[in-house]
């Protein structure tokens, strides 16, 4: 049976999450602090980082900011993006993360991605050890396929463990999670905290047309984001989202985040930014009342993926 995710003092996990991937990188310490404070003021208590983010600066800064409020916060980090999910690598990475965060206990530890080379039994034996020692509260998985999650669920259950939270990519132009991941998580009672609700910046409204595709920002400068969001229909969807946003006198970023949060599964979007100013439209989604009609109009801007069946004609 899953234990609800709460902070050390029993404060329920917030509906929205803040991802600190930019702390110590694109966001310096001052900008990072301003975003942390803005999130706390907005009611967010769930903060997400990882061993690999900004060479450790993300964890170090988050630990510094979180220290005075630690008992009321839910802190998540991730291990095994590099080096595999074997016992030695997991323990080494997690110990380094704890030292950076300056925390004896981390509320959530994610496996950052699935490791096909390591027996799941070894991985979950190690996680069971960490939980038994009182060093982690909950186990999460990120960047897993649905079958990989279910295989992990089975192995974890043999060790009296549960997988309590899942972190997939999900936004208006990246909807593959709707096929199996989101239905699976709903069936298993796993909380979903999707990352990239703004599509790497594509859905913020700052791109004024398809001509920007060749010249502007991270979507071009970072080869991963260029490949991920390089299809022309995605840019057209972003343009149409901006038109809808203007019609409703709201930021496109606010609509993009609110759309993810409005999914029937009650998802917990991971917000992120480089500055408090850039973050503000995403925070506005927390209190934005997205009507069913507007949700449907936004959904129609991108293709709905086919369900996971070999009888599509019957679906």
Question: Reading across the β-sheet that carries 163-167, which strands appear in turn?
Answer: 191-192, 163-167, 136-142, 106-111, 74-79, 46-48, 17-19, 270-271
The pTM of the full predicted model, rounded to 2 decimals, is 0.95
Residues annotated as catalytic are: 53
Q: pLDDT (tens digit, 9 = 90+) per residue, 4-39?
A: 999 999 999 999 999 999 999 999 999 999 999 999
- Spatial CB neighbours of 76, under 8 Å, sequence gap ≥ 6: 17, 46, 47, 48, 49, 106, 107, 108, 109, 110, 140, 165
In this structure, what are the phi and psi dihedrals at residue 55, rounded to the nearest 5 degrees? 55, 35
Q: pLDDT (tens digit, 9 = 90+) per residue, 153-194?
A: 999 999 999 999 999 999 999 999 999 999 999 999 999 999
| Among candidate residues 66, 53, 62, 63, the one with its CA nearest the CA of residue 26 | 53
- Hey, which bits of 95-218 come out as E strands? 106-111, 136-142, 163-167, 191-192
Tell me how far apart the alpha carbons of residues 255 and 262 are, in angstroms, rounded to a whole number. Answer: 10
Q: pLDDT (tens digit, 9 = 90+) per residue, 217-276?
A: 677 677 788 888 989 999 999 999 999 999 999 999 999 999 999 999 999 999 999 999
CATH of domain 17-201+252-290: 3.20.20.100
In this structure, what are the phi and psi dihedrals at residue 79, rounded to the nearest 5 degrees? -135, 165
> How buried is residue 289: exposed, middle or buried, by Cβ count under 10 Å (0-12/13-18/19+)?
exposed
**Could you identify the residue written with the tokens 């009321």?**
72
For residue 133, pLDDT over 70 is answered with yes
Contact (Cβ atoms closer than 8 angstroms) between residue 202 and residue 235: yes
Domain positions in the chain are 17-201+252-290
């Amino acid at each position: 049976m899953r234990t609800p995710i709460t902070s050390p003092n029993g404060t329920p996990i917030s509906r929205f999450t803040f991802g600190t991937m930019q702390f110590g990188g694109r966001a310096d310490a001052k900008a990072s602090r301003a975003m942390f404070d803005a999130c706390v003021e907005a009611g967010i208590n769930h903060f997400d980082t990882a061993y690999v983010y900004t060479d450790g600066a993300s964890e170090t800064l988050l630990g510094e900011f979180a220290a005075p409020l630690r008992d009321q916060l839910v802190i998540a980090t991730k291990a095994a993006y590099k080096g595999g999910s074997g016992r030695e690598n997991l323990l080494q990475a997690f110990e380094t993360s704890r030292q950076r965060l300056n925390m004896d206990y981390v509320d959530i530890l994610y496996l950052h991605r699935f490791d096909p080379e390591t027996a799941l039994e070894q991985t979950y034996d190690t996680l069971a050890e960490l939980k038994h020692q009182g060093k982690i509260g909950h186990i999460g998985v990120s960047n897993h396929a649905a079958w990989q999650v279910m295989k992990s669920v089975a192995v974890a259950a043999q060790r009296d463990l549960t997988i309590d939270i899942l972190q997939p990519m999900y936004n208006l132009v990246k909807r593959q999670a709707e096929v199996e991941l989101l239905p699976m998580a709903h069936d298993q009672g796993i909380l979903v905290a999707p990352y990239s609700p703004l599509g790497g910046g594509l859905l913020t409204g700052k791109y004024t047309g398809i001509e920007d595709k060749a010249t502007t920002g991270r979507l071009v400068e970072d080869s991963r984001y260029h490949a991920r969001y390089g299809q022309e229909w995605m840019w057209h969807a972003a343009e149409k989202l901006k038109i809808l946003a203007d019609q409703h006198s709201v930021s496109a970023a606010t609509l993009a985040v609110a759309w993810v949060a409005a999914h029937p599964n009650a998802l917990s979007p991971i917000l992120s930014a480089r500055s408090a100013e850039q973050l503000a439209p995403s925070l506005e989604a927390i209190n934005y009342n997205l009507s069913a009609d507007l949700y449907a109009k936004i959904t129609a801007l991108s293709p709905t993926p086919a369900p996971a069946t070999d009888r599509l004609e019957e679906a």
